[in-house]
Structure 1
């Protein structure tokens, strides 16, 4: 059965419909002015010893965090003061200004704090804007830090863009200060990426050596492990010979010397059919398939090389 809808309300000939387009903006601006008078605010946020008078309704509209807080059965829903622990007061002030004005200025000095605090307090619009800013500002000097930052703050679109940038610009990235500050685990993760594109075949090995030289005391022990990820068997024999003859880090490491010597042997001598070459000069028993091009008598471009 169809429901019976109410007839449209008859409009009198003397009715006058009025709409003030600026009303919504005027109310928002008025609320912003009222923030300066604590008596006209209904909640005060406290962060880092600073107090921020504001209005529950405005916060709930802009933040999932505050919407849940003020609409749920929490003590904060009726409290006059709400303390926010481990929240950056400077970033909080910017978020509140945005909530009342719709305006925010993002720069290299505040983007990380804004992203972190907007993630904590669930301001989705600011999260998206910060994400866009980071992707637009990405270059060889900062992509590694942006990648880790995106991963730690649940921003896959940021970390994904940083990974892509690294893959396409590894050589430029490896020359930056950020690269030298990487942990061993993080560096190994990057070197293990099969999609890295390099113009020079020895770029991976040179990047490893630069990283170790930056702090040789604690890092020298990792040289053999990292060189294994550098495709030594794809490098010219002359380069490997020079490593053995002139590179102190290699000469001082028995494991590294053995790895380079083994890689030279693989470059110059075809592998038996029963062995297929793995990355970094390691052998794997795989009876089927031809030996890789990189061990057919001379070093060939690694798969990562830009076409």
Structure 2
């Protein structure tokens, strides 16, 4: 019995009061407030703040380095703090005692400067987050400059991205008019500007130049970065050419003539690639809509579902009024258009439009022709449909729809009848690749200049293909999947206008005919398709940086054959 008692007495017991450190800091803060036991004074101008060295050492890296080394200040009772705002220093000393700091619009910059100086990374990060969440067209340029000065990379990138996404609104602000010349030059030359038309960049440049009489001398340099060939011909003639600042400058007039020649004489084009490259703000995230298509039995559907890239989830939307497979899809001003298609019995000419805000469909004017398996794109706010199949033969006809007038008009036909071609907008032109005419499958490519209403031959693809997907991304055009007459394809190609040629791209994981290809957030998405045995609900994403495809969440209510459109989360 005695041995057992001894054994118990020898056991180790841990007793702790977890809240003691926190309570101790509270006591030290109260003692400081009473002005007792303080052993150091921090001075900024005429302001003095008493504190305890041990608390500053424990909480602020700057003072830890100062007081635990042989620095001269470690033995001084009063330390002068250069270049700090007094109220910010006081708030950060209080933070050392209680772990709390109040951030508002008035103090955020001085707090960030002070936190950076004192090496309080957590406070610095909190200030950056505060500014990032409150970015606005009226402040993003100032925030971007401040972030660059303070070497806050994440905040700088966020402000820069916001600037690109909201360029038109930013160009109307005082901050923009006060920019330095170098900053305006860099901005106007950027590919990532989110604009409806290049005309908006011209107007922004003109506003900046007019703000100061001395700036007129740099107009030629700025105008050389505006992509004038992408402006509409009547805008070049009626607006740009008539502008007084342009008329009195020989170099500016030459740039206008160069742009007009681009429209009038395409065979003489010798322009740098950037001047005809459409700007595209790839940082804008969009919602991908899968429209119509087929079920596992091959029946046409009226079902619509939407893919949230960030959540990697598909959700169901209001169905269309009409079942449509091989349907054309276009997005204009945040509205989703479902055009033509096949309802299981006949080819359709009808069109309906979906409003994501109201989750509802309405009918608009029908096309002049019935067509399915056509290409559908948007240029300058107008919808173009190219080719397709009317139930009897492949078509070479092209129609253009104006949402403003709700009217369809026939434009110049393609050089060949093309059904199930890949159609996309690249560098301001409508490119139509491959397809078939009922007898043969093509590898040929042609493009349409909507300014001149003319078609021109382009470099053929490496492989012939129909029922493939096509999409632009940055300065390249991509095609993927399809059918070549003997097999269903997983292969993909990419076209570089700078090189003027196609090259092979890494193949998708799955063979996909009747696949839809769409670009958003700097990536490509291949949606649905047919692998030769069954319709597909799977989705693959191509990451340009990693040069590889990976699977995303599959569609829930579709089995291939869908039309696809991408609605930006913040449409212009």
Given the two structures, how large is their TM-score scaled by the length of structure 1?
Answer: 0.83
Distance in structure 1 (CA, Å) of the matches to 2:11 and 2:428: 89
Note if 1:34 corresponds to 2:22: no
Give the number of the structure with larger relative contact order, counting CA–CA contacts within 8 Å between residues 6 or more apart.
1
Distance in structure 2 (CA, Å) of the matches to 1:255 and 1:296: 30
Note if 1:221 corresponds to 2:220: no
Distance in structure 1 (CA, Å) of the matches to 2:65 and 2:238: 64
Residue 17 (structure 2) aligns with: 20
Q: CA deviation at 1:110?
A: 0.9
Residue 181 (structure 2) aligns with: 184
Contact persistence 1:173–1:179 (CA under 8 A): yes
Distance in structure 1 (CA, Å) of the matches to 2:13 and 2:211: 77
Residue 339 (structure 2) aligns with: none
- The range that moved more, 32-41 or 13-22, is 13-22
Residue 156 (structure 1) aligns with: 153
Q: Deviations over 1:29-61 (max 9, x none)?
A: 221122235551121111122111112222223
- The range that moved more, 67-76 or 33-42, is 33-42
SS at match of 1:44: strand
* Larger-Rg structure: 2
Note if 1:279 corresponds to 2:263: no
Relative to total residues, which structure has the larger helix share, 1 or 2?
1
Contact persistence 1:227–1:280 (CA under 8 A): no
Q: CA deviation at 1:153?
A: 0.2
Residue 234 (structure 2) aligns with: 238
- Please show how residues 70-109 of structure 1 align to structure 2 within 5 Å: 70-109=67-106
SS at match of 2:266: coil
- How many matched pairs? 287
Note if 1:168 corresponds to 2:141: no
Distance in structure 2 (CA, Å) of the matches to 1:187 and 1:239: 22
Distance in structure 1 (CA, Å) of the matches to 2:264 and 2:104: 53
Residue 288 (structure 1) aligns with: none
SS at match of 2:49: strand
- 5+ residue gaps, structure 1: 1-9, 282-290
- 5+ residue gaps, structure 2: 1-6, 277-425, 430-446, 453-473, 476-519, 521-565, 567-572
Note if 1:146 corresponds to 2:176: no
Could you say what the CA RMSD is over the residues aligned between the two structures, in angstroms?
3.0
Q: Which of 112, 131, 136 matches 1:134?
A: 131
Contact persistence 2:56–2:96 (CA under 8 A): yes
Q: CA deviation at 1:243?
A: 3.1
Report the CA distance shift for 1:79/1:33 in structure 2 as closer, same or farther (over 3 A): same
Given the two structures, how large is their TM-score scaled by the length of structure 2?
Answer: 0.46
Note if 1:211 corresponds to 2:205: no
Contact persistence 1:70–1:76 (CA under 8 A): yes
Distance in structure 2 (CA, Å) of the matches to 1:21 and 1:77: 31
Distance in structure 2 (CA, Å) of the matches to 1:12 and 1:154: 59
Hey, which bits of structure 1, 4+ residues long, moved more than 4 A? 13-18, 291-300
Contact persistence 1:233–1:264 (CA under 8 A): yes
Distance in structure 2 (CA, Å) of the matches to 1:179 and 1:38: 49
Contact persistence 2:262–2:268 (CA under 8 A): no
Contact persistence 1:269–1:296 (CA under 8 A): no
Q: CA deviation at 1:271?
A: 4.4
